[in-house]
Amino acid sequence: MMKDRYSRQELFKPIGKDGQKLIKNKHVLIIGCGALGTANAESLVRAGIGKLTIIDRDYVESSNLQRQQLFTEQDCLDQLPKAVAAKVHLQKINSSVEIESFVMDGTSTNLVPLLVDVDLVIDATDNFDIRFIMNDLIHKYNIPWIFGSCVGSTGMSYTILPGTTPCLNCLLNAAPVTGATCDSVGIIAPTVQMVVAHQQVEALKILVEDYSSLRNKLVTFDLWNNLYHSVNINRSKKDTCLTCGENPVYPKLTYDAQTKMEVLCGRNTVQIRAKREIHLGELAKQLSNIGIVNQNEFLISLNYDEYRIVIFRDGRVLIHGTDSTEKARNIYYQLVG
């Protein structure tokens, strides 16, 4: 089927037919399925990756459509989880790729089995809690990881090779990022595409095992102000680092280091994580006495006073309309128990 599908990619000498065979036998895990995640996923699927696993905790909203290229208005109306909607569209692009999608919030526990046989992890997350967990995990299990971040017209990318390059902790000590988010200062779509371009070319190098061509510098840019920097941060790697140093202990993998209740920056929303699986059908019936409940097989949502509550099957709850964890906790107990 479509024997010339990858012909133009194979004509590129650093890849060739041998490289294409390598790509077909590789497995990539993408953490996050928003702007960076959807664009990375589409590029990999079009490139002929053998297996793709995508993880995301959120669902499609109208504000996503401006830059998250796989999603449609119907996905938004259906309140589909991003990982589910992405898989549907990706499978239509390339039916020969094996795609797994997981609607969940990644933790140091549930991510471990998903790392089995993974050749590369791509960072497409929107918060540093999960990034620091991933930083420890990829070093513990020795998996390459491509960091990426963007907001406004600025972005950065860096390729992390366990045992060789500085880890995320070392990187942020050398080049700290601001606390700005897309929800607080906005973002333009070209910023996303620029970060993805840097991530994807590095991904292809790793997938065809051309490690000598990997970029060994941190790339930062500001598209609007015409700025571009490439920074050598190799000296920032520290022997005393608890993640990539001589005696690693992977501190972010301990239970106490993980967030159980968190305010989602800039969204006036609190997320609550509970180690329980919720029977959505039964809970929807209970909550129908309070207000109109919208339900699909992945989540239920309803308006409660001035708040909007979204409850996922894996026990996570998003409480929109407050940044008070105390208030969110009270609402959670009132509705979920």
Q: CA–CA separation, 149 vs 171, rounded Å?
A: 13
What was the pLDDT predicted at 260? 73
Q: CA–CA separation, 148 vs 35, rounded Å?
A: 11
What was the pLDDT predicted at 10? 97
Question: Which tokens hold the place of 61?
Answer: 């909203």
What tens digit of pLDDT does each residue of 40-52 get? 999 999 999 999 9
* Fold observed for domain 7-255: Rossmann fold (3.40.50)
Enumerate the CATH 3.30.310.10 domain ranges in the chain, comma separated.
260-335
The mean pLDDT value for 295-311 works out to 90
Share of the chain above pLDDT 90, in %: 66
- Per CATH, the number for 260-335 is 3.30.310.10
The mean pLDDT value for 168-178 works out to 77
The mean pLDDT value for 264-286 works out to 82
What was the pLDDT predicted at 305? 87
Please check whether residue 67 is in contact with residue 187, taking contact to mean a CB–CB distance below 8 angstroms.
Answer: yes
The mean pLDDT value for 183-201 works out to 90
What was the pLDDT predicted at 219? 95
Enumerate the CATH 3.40.50.720 domain ranges in the chain, comma separated.
7-255
Residue 171 has pLDDT above 70, yes or no: yes
In terms of pLDDT, which residue wins out, 257 or 251?
Answer: 251
What tens digit of pLDDT does each residue of 57-75 get? 889 999 899 999 999 999 9
What tens digit of pLDDT does each residue of 193-238 get? 999 999 999 999 999 999 999 999 999 999 999 999 999 988 889 9
Q: CA–CA separation, 290 vs 102, rounded Å?
A: 30
pLDDT band at 286 (very low <50, low <70, confident <90, very high): confident
Query: Nearest CA to 156 among 207, 237, 222?
Result: 222
CA-to-CA separations, 70 to 41, 90, 194, 258, 326, in angstroms, rounded: 9, 8, 17, 30, 36
What was the pLDDT predicted at 15? 98
Phi, psi torsion values for 270, nearest 5 degrees? -115, 135
Residue 311 has pLDDT above 60, yes or no: yes
Q: Which of 110-119, 252-261, 283-292 has the lowest mean pLDDT?
A: 252-261
The mean pLDDT value for 144-158 works out to 94
Share of the chain above pLDDT 70, in %: 95
The mean pLDDT of the chain is 90
The mean pLDDT value for 20-30 works out to 98
CA torsion angle for 180, 181, 184, 189 (degrees, to 10)?
Answer: 120
Q: Which of 60-74, 76-90, 250-264, 313-327 has the lowest mean pLDDT?
A: 250-264
Q: Within the chain, what is the greatest distance between any pair of CA atoms?
A: 64
pTM assigned to the model: 0.84
pLDDT band at 283 (very low <50, low <70, confident <90, very high): confident
Please check whether residue 207 is in contact with residue 143, taking contact to mean a CB–CB distance below 8 angstroms.
Answer: no
Helix (H) or strand (E) holding 186: none
What tens digit of pLDDT does each residue of 93-122 get? 999 999 999 998 888 889 999 999 999 999
Query: Nearest CA to 300 among 288, 267, 75, 101?
Result: 288
What tens digit of pLDDT does each residue of 77-88 get? 999 999 999 999
What was the pLDDT predicted at 322? 93
Query: Nearest CA to 130 among 154, 106, 110?
Result: 106
